Amino acid sequence: SQKIEQNSEALNIQEGKTATLTCNYTNYSPAYLQWYRQDPGRGPVFLLLIRENEKEKRKERLKVTFDTTLKQSLFHITASQPADSATYLCARGDDKIIFGKGTRLHILP
């Protein structure tokens, strides 16, 4: 079956360091991947979309990579802050969007 997996359920990172989250996909070659942020009790908020022909995309302190050989996307938050603490979701898509289970990121002051 086509799977999208986020390997870490939770990740603790010291404030100021770079947080790196991983998303892997199997049995499928998505045309694009999306990353979302979700805070407790709220709906997800779209952050970035990267297409299969794009190696890297940036938005302020966020960077996403897409490696079709490794079947993997990495999501980086540089100069992390406690306010970055949230659950981050990876999603694969074509005509429908399927989400991974998410990684809870804790930025420790």
Partner 1 sequence: NAGVTQTPKFQVLKTGQSMTLQCAQDMNHEYMSWYRQDPGMGLRLIHYSVGAGITDQGEVPNGYNVSRSTTEDFPLRLLSAAPSQTSVYFCASSYSIGHNGYTFGSGTRLTVV
Between the alpha carbon of residue 64 and those of residues 47, 75, 81, the distances in Å are: 10, 5, 18
Report how far residue 99's alpha carbon sits from residue 56's, in angstroms, rounded to the nearest whole number.
20
Between residues 85 and 88, which has the closer beta carbon with respect to partner 1?
Answer: 88
CB 101 → partner 1: shortest distance, Å? Answer: 4
CB 85 → partner 1: shortest distance, Å? Answer: 18
CB 106 → partner 1: shortest distance, Å? Answer: 18
Report how far residue 2's alpha carbon sits from residue 56's, in angstroms, rounded to the nearest whole number.
23
Between residues 37 and 107, which has the closer beta carbon with respect to partner 1?
Answer: 37
Report how far residue 38's alpha carbon sits from residue 34's, in angstroms, rounded to the nearest whole number.
13
Q: Which residues bind to partner 1, rule: CB under 8 A?
A: 31-32, 34, 36, 42-49, 51, 89, 93-102
